[in-house]
């Protein structure tokens, strides 16, 4: 009886367990389906955000051409009068560039956006060229970027004198020669001589308020003297100018210097007569290097999005340096992050709540963006690794990772194409974009409405049909291969056949050695 009961009971239980099991299976299936639907709808929303962003960032050839023309127009306006354009077009007082004849021992200090470098070089004239050079690099302690002027220049002086103290036997000063320094200072400065100038404003995350308006050469000179050393700062050099000089030392065709690093900027060799706002004498060479401060370039043709607006509002210099904020290494990663934040908030692509660190400005650095962008593994494991390491985000699907890569691609491509348009704008301004007939002197057509015909009056040697070399420096250009390729592609798109005569050459650490070369060509003690 008991057995029969047991049997009946157990068979009933089996039936019930079976029902429960199938109900559980149904529920699990429902959860899976609903999760899949949720993931699909998240991906759908994320894709929509991506598409909208891609559209807003789109830089077709026609738009790039407008940026080229706007750049050339603004360059002209900035040369005519002080404040004539957002492009400051600062005369650098550099009217002769190194040509290989320089001899002796020279130093350079290079304050960029991230790193600080000290360098020494022994020059041996045309036959010896660069006999020996040494340099050291230190990261700038972040607290100094927001501290006082004395602290900052004291740090630079300390690093410089300790480097000088380690000068080896291979480096030799001439009898009676002082150590002369080229000071590369990569922030906007209004120069008053080749070796003095006041800081106009900070960029790239620096905010040392009491230094604004100060003569940065005098500040460094004081720092050196406080440490009991005697050295002369022979040239104050913007990093673009250093890069230009470093390139020109080896190659006469170098006309333009560009930096694509933490920040971005360009300089070029202009006819002194075209600098209408220049009140000084026309230099013997007839030329003047102009520091454009192109990071501050602005034009309504630039593709501005919600990302650029919020980034600008939260930056240390709102309303300023809009071009730089679309192009340079300090900002590209943050542009990507802002799109990801939107996707995380509106499409929950990284789950709920939104990872806290993702909301932190500048938490995604451009080198990490570049790592994700270059990930060519089939399951995008580098993307997964970066998201996990930086934000603690786990378990992303390959589909979501692909969207992240597409965001990186959009931001990178836009920045690179705009940088290319900037370079072509300069080429156009100096008549080297291949659109002028070779050797024909053109009148300035600035007043004409047809901007495609825009050129300044161009001396024959500027349109000789020869090569024009752009000396380029900066970690973004050097390390971000896809950025570099997109930029090159856009230059070719813009110049067509003419691009064969334009060469962009990496002039690695050119800004440091260029400053030392300029110290040599502007030295107090000239060795013949
Ligand atoms: P600075 O501009 O401070 O003088 P660099 O020219 O060395 O210094 O540029 C450093 C910048 O280059 C970094 O702030 C970063 O934005 C960018 N960068 C460095 N490495 C990479 C990389 N692997 N991928 C993309 N960008 C990079
Ligand atoms: Mg630099």
Per DSSP (E only), the strands in 86-154 are: 90-91, 103-111, 115-124, 130-139
Ligand 1 site-directed mutation target among 111, 184, 367, 372, most atoms within 8 Å of CB: 367
Q: Does pLDDT of 438 surpass 50?
A: no
Does residue 494 carry a pLDDT above 60? yes
* Structure tokens that stand for 479 in this block: 């390390």
pLDDT of the residue at 83: 95
Catalytic, 186? Answer yes
* Ligand 1 atom 5 nearest Cα: 475
- Report CA 140 to chain centroid distance, whole Å: 17
Ligand 1 atom 19: residue of nearest CA: 475
Q: Which atom of ligand 1 is nearest to the CA of 511?
A: 4
Tell me the two tokens of residue 215: 């003569």
Q: How confident is the model at residue 113 (pLDDT cuts 50, 70, 90)?
A: confident
**pLDDT higher than 50, residue 210:** yes
Ligand 1 center–CA 487 separation, angstroms = 16
Q: Which of 38-42, 172-176, 187-191 is the least confident region?
A: 38-42
pLDDT higher than 50, residue 455: no
Residues with Cβ within 5 Å of ion ligand 2?
A: 112, 239, 261
- By percentage, how much of the chain surpasses pLDDT 90? 80
Atom of ligand 1 nearest to the CA of 239: 4
Q: Which CATH superfamily is domain 93-237 in?
A: ATPase, nucleotide binding domain (3.30.420.40)
Question: In which residue are the tokens 């004498």 written?
Answer: 281
Residue 437: partners with Cβ closer than 8 Å, 6 or more residues away: 463
Strands 189-193 and 196-199: antiparallel
What is the average per-residue pLDDT within 19-46? 74
Q: Is the pLDDT of residue 440 over 70?
A: no
Distance (angstroms) between ligand 1 centre and the Cα of 429 equals 28
> Is pLDDT of 11 > 60?
no
The reply to whether 8 belongs to the active site is no
- Predicted pLDDT at 250: 93
Tell me the two tokens of residue 76: 């002209």
Backbone angles phi, psi at 107, to 5 degrees: -115, 160
User: Does residue 463 register a pLDDT over 50?
Assistant: no
Instruction: With cut-offs at 50, 70 and 90, classify the pLDDT of residue 26.
Output: low
Q: Give the C-alpha separation, 50 to 437, whole Å.
A: 43
Task: Identify which has the larger pLDDT, 231 or 528.
Answer: 231
Q: Residue 18: what pLDDT?
A: 60
What is the CA(242)–ligand 2 centre distance, in A? 10
| pTM recorded for the entire structure | 0.88
Expressed in angstroms and rounded, the spacing between residue 415 Cα and the centre of ligand 1 is 14
What is the pLDDT of the chain when averaged over all its residues? 89
The helix/strand/coil state of 137 is: strand
Task: Determine the pLDDT at residue 5.
Answer: 44
Please state the rounded mean pLDDT for residues 133-146. 94
Phi and psi for 210 in degrees, rounded to 5? -75, 0
State how far the Cα of 49 lies from the Cα of 43, in Å rounded to an integer. 10
From the candidate CATH numbers 3.40.190.10, 3.40.50.620, 3.40.367.20, 3.10.20.740, the one assigned to the domain spanning 44-90+251-434+466-508: 3.40.367.20
pLDDT of residue 15: 54
Residue in 265, 266, 329, 330 to alter for ligand 1 test, most ligand atoms within 8 A of Cβ: 329
d(CA 242, CA 222): 23
Q: How far apart are CA 525 and CA 216, in angstroms?
A: 22
Question: What pLDDT was estimated at residue 13?
Answer: 54
Query: Would you state the pLDDT for residue 14?
Result: 58
CA distances from 115 to 118, 141, 214, 368, 451 (A): 10, 9, 22, 18, 40
Query: Relative to the CA of 332, which ligand 1 atom is closest?
Result: 16
Q: What is the pLDDT averaged over residues 195-222?
A: 96
Q: Report the pLDDT value the prediction gives residue 163, as an integer from 0 to 100.
A: 97
Q: How far apart are CA 377 and CA 379, in angstroms?
A: 6
Choice among 110, 154, 239, 509 that is catalytic: 239
Q: Would you state the pLDDT for residue 44? A: 92
The verdict on whether 499 is a catalytic residue reads no
Lining ligand 1 with CB less than 6 A are 112-115, 261-262, 329-330, 366-367, 370, 474-476, 479-480
| Helix ranges, 95-252 (H) | 125-128, 149-165, 216-226, 239-250
When comparing pLDDT for 374 and 115, which is higher? 374
pLDDT at residue 461, as a whole number: 37
Nearest-angstrom CA–CA distance, 208 and 155: 13
The catalytic residue among 85, 149, 186, 435 is 186
**460: exposed, middle or buried (Cβ count in 10 Å: 0-12, 13-18, 19+):** exposed
pLDDT at 120: 97
Which of 10-14, 251-255, 269-273 is least confident?
A: 10-14
Residue 477 pLDDT level (bands cut at 50, 70, 90)? very high
Select from 391, 239, 375, 364 the least CA-distant residue to 307.
364
Going by C-beta distance under 8 Å and a sequence separation of 6 or more, which residues neighbour residue 186?
Answer: 110, 111, 112, 113, 204, 238, 239, 240, 259, 263, 265, 511
Nearest CA to ligand 1 atom 25: 367
The reported pLDDT for the residue numbered 281 is 93
Long-range contacts of 339-342 (CB under 8 A, 24+ apart): 339/49, 339/50, 339/53, 339/307, 339/407, 339/410, 339/411, 340/364, 340/404, 340/407, 342/49, 342/306
Nearest CA to ligand 1 atom 6: 474
Indicate where the chain has its CATH 3.40.367.20 domain(s).
Answer: 44-90+251-434+466-508
In sequence order, the 6+-apart residues with CB closer than 8 A to the CB of 17 are none
pLDDT value for 110: 94
- The CA-atom distances, in angstroms, between 356 and each of 359, 368, 393 are 6, 18, 10
Residues of the chain with CATH 3.30.420.40: 93-237
With cut-offs at 50, 70 and 90, classify the pLDDT of residue 38.
Answer: confident
Sheet holding 179-185, edge to edge: 130-139, 115-124, 103-111, 179-185, 231-237
- The pLDDT tens digits of the residues spanning 91-102 come to 999 999 999 999
Residue bearing the CA closest to ligand 1, atom 21: 367
User: Residue with the nearest Cα to atom 22 of ligand 1?
Assistant: 367
Mean pLDDT of 516-523: 94
Considering only 126-130, 426-430, 460-464, 498-502, which range has the smallest mean pLDDT?
460-464
């Amino acid at each position: 009886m008991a057995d029969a009961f047991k049997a009946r009971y157990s068979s009933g239980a089996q039936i019930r367990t079976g029902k429960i099991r199938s109900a559980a299976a149904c529920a699990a299936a429902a959860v899976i389906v609903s999760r899949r639907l949720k993931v699909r709808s998240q991906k759908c929303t994320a894709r929509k955000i991506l598409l909208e962003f891609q559209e807003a960032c789109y830089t077709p050839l026609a738009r790039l051409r407008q940026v080229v023309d706007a750049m050339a127009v603004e360059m002209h306006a900035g040369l005519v009068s002080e404040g004539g354009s957002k492009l400051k077009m600062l005369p650098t007082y550099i009217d002769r560039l190194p040509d290989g004849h320089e001899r002796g021992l020279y130093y350079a200090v290079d304050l960029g956006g991230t790193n600080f470098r000290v360098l020494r070089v022994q020059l041996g004239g045309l036959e010896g060229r660069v006999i020996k050079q040494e340099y050291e690099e230190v990261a700038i302690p972040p607290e100094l970027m927001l501290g006082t002027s004395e602290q900052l220049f004291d740090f630079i002086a300390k690093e410089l004198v300790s480097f000088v103290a380690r000068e080896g036997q291979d480096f030799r000063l001439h009898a009676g020669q002082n150590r002369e320094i080229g000071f590369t200072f990569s922030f906007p400065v209004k120069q008053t001589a080749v070796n003095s100038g006041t800081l106009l404003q900070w960029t790239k995350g620096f905010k040392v308020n009491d230094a604004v308006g100060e003569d940065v050469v005098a500040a460094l000179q004081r720092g050196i003297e406080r440490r009991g050393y005697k050295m002369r700062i022979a040239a104050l050099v913007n990093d673009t100018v250093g890069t230009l000089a470093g390139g020109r030392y080896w190659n006469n065709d170098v006309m333009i210097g560009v930096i694509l690093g933490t920040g971005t900027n360009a300089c070029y060799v202009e006819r002194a007569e075209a600098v209408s706002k220049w009140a000084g004498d026309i230099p013997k060479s007839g030329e003047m290097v102009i520091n454009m401060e192109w990071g501050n370039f602005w034009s309504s043709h630039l593709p501005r999005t919600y990302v650029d607006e919020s980034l600008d509002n939260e930056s240390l210099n709102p309303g300023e340096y809009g071009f730089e904020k679309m192009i340079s290494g300090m900002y590209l990663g943050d542009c990507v992050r802002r799109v990801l934040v939107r996707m995380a908030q509106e499409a929950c692509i990284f789950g709920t709540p939104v990872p806290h660190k993702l909301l932190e400005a500048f938490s995604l650095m451009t080198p990490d963006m570049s790592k994700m962008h270059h990930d060519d593994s089939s399951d995008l494991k580098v993307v997964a690794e970066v998201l996990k390491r930086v934000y603690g985000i786990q378990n992303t699907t390959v589909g979501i990772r692909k969207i992240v890569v597409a965001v990186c691609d959009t931001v990178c491509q836009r920045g690179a194409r705009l940088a290319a348009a900037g370079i072509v704008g300069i080429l156009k301004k100096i008549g080297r974009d291949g659109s002028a007939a070779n050797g024909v002197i053109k009148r300035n057509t600035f007043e004409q409405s047809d901007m495609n015909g825009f050129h300044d009056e161009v001396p024959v040697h500027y349109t000789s049909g020869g090569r024009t070399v752009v000396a380029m420096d900066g970690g973004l250009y050097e390390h971000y291969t896809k950025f570099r390729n997109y930029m090159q592609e856009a230059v070719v798109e813009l110049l067509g056949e003419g691009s064969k005569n334009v060469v962009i050459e990496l002039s690695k650490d050119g800004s440091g050695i260029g400053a030392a070369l300029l110290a040599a060509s502007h030295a107090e003690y000239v060795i013949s």
